[in-house]
Amino acid sequence: MEEYRSSYGLENHGFKNLEREFWNLSTPALYEQAIRHHEGVIAHLGPLVARTGDHTGRAPNDKFIVREPGSEGDIWWGPINRDCTEENFERMHKRMMQYLENSSVFVQDLYAGADPRYRLPIRVITELAWHSMFARNMFLRIFEPDALRTHVPEFTVIDVPSLSADKEEFATSSGAFIYLSFKHKMVLIGGTQYAGEIKKSIFTVMNYLRPKQGVMAMHCSANYGKDRDDVALFFGLSGTGKTTLSADTTRTLIGDDEHGWSDDGVFNFEGGCYAKVIRLSPTGEPEIWEATRRFGTLLENVAIDAQRRRIDLDDDTYTENTRASYPITHIPNADYGGVAGHPKHVIFLTADAFGVMSPIAKLSPDQAQYHFLAGYTAKVAGTEQGITEPSATFSTCFGAPFMPLHPTVYAKLLADKVRDNNVQLWMVNTGWTGGPYGLGSRMSLAYTRAMVRAAQEGRLNDVETRTDPVFGFEIPLHVPGVPDEILDPRSTWADPAAYDKKASDLAKRFHKYMAQFEDAMSDAVKAAAPKA
Helical H segments across 231-298, by residue range: 242-246, 286-291
Write out the H or E segment, with its range, that includes residue 95: helix 86-99
274-330 fold? Phosphoenolpyruvate Carboxykinase; domain 2 (2.170.8)
Q: Which residues of 32-59 are buried (b: 16+ CB within 10 A; e: fewer)?
A: ebbeeeebbbebeeebbbbbbeebbbbb
Mean local confidence (pLDDT), 140-151: 96
- Which position among 323, 362, 417, 453 bears the catalytic label? 323
The CA-CA-CA angle for residues 368, 371, 376, to 5°, reads: 145
Given 104, 238, 319, 329, the catalytic residue: 238
Residues 439-443, mean pLDDT to the nearest whole number: 93
User: Distance between CA 35 and CA 437 in Å, rounded?
Assistant: 43
Residue 456 has pLDDT above 90, yes or no: yes
Average pLDDT over residues 503-512: 95
- Distance between CA 374 and CA 380 in Å, rounded? 18
Residue 239 in this model has a pLDDT that exceeds 90:
no
At residue 446, the 3 state secondary structure works out as helix
Which range is least confidently modeled, 32-46, 151-165, 261-275, 389-403?
A: 389-403
**3 state DSSP class of 332:** coil
Q: Which of 200, 344, 345, 509 does the annotation list as catalytic?
A: 200
Percent of the chain with pLDDT over 90: 90
Distance, CA of 105 to CA of 93 (rounded, Å): 15
CATH entry 3.90.228.20 includes domain 343-526: yes
Which residue from 110, 128, 98 is spatially nearest to 30, judged by alpha carbons?
128
Residue tagged active-site, from 141, 242, 330, 379: 242
Whether 200 sits among the annotated catalytic residues: the reply is yes
Residues whose CB is less than 8 angstroms from the CB of residue 353 and which lie 6 or more positions away in sequence, other chains included: 378, 379, 380, 390, 391, 431, 432, 436, 437
Average pLDDT over residues 125-138: 98
pLDDT at 385: 38
pLDDT at 383: 41
DSSP state for residue 164 in the 8-state scheme = P
91 is catalytic: no
* Confidence category of residue 387, pLDDT binned at 50, 70, 90: very low
Q: Which of 151, 184, 219, 509 is catalytic?
A: 219
> Hey, which residues does 146 pair with through a beta bridge?
none
CA dist 19 and 348 (Å) reads 49
384 vs 420 pLDDT, higher one: 420
Instruction: Please say if 257 is a catalytic residue.
Output: yes
* CA dist., res. 504 & res. 471, Å (int): 10
pLDDT value, residue 532 = 83
Distance CA 158, CA 96 (A): 9
pLDDT at 388 over 70: no
Q: How many CB atoms lie within 10 A of CB 512?
A: 11
For 18-56, the pLDDT digits (tens) are 999 999 999 999 999 999 999 999 999 999 999 999 999
Range of lowest pLDDT (88-92, 163-167, 187-191, 377-381): 377-381
pLDDT of residue 380: 54
pLDDT tens-digit readout, 365-376 = 999 999 999 999
The yes-or-no verdict on residue 381 having pLDDT over 60 is no
Count of CB atoms within 10 A of residue 69's CB? Answer: 8
Q: What is the mean pLDDT of the chain?
A: 94
**Catalytic-role residue among 257, 335, 366, 468:** 257
Domain 2-38+59-213 fold is: Phosphoenolpyruvate Carboxykinase; domain 1 (3.40.449)
- Distance of alpha carbon 57 from alpha carbon 316, whole angstroms: 14
Name the pTM for this structure: 0.94
| pLDDT single digits (tens) 288-345 | 999 999 999 999 999 999 999 999 999 999 998 999 999 999 999 999 999 999 999 9
Rounded-to-integer distance, Cα 444 and Cα 487, Å: 12
Strands 216-224 and 339-340, by their bridges, are unpaired
Which residue in the list 5, 13, 58, 210 is annotated as catalytic? Answer: 58
Active site residue 219: yes
What digits encode the pLDDT tens for the residues 96-121? Answer: 999 999 999 999 999 999 999 999 99
Q: Is the pLDDT score of 2 beyond 70?
A: no
pLDDT at 168: 87
- The single residue of 126, 192, 201, 243 carrying the catalytic annotation is 243
- The structural domains of the chain, with segments of one domain joined by +, span 2-38+59-213, 274-330, 343-526
State yes or no: pLDDT of 431 exceeds 70.
yes
d(CA 406, CA 10): 34
Catalytic, 238? Answer yes
The question of whether 323 is a catalytic residue gets the answer yes
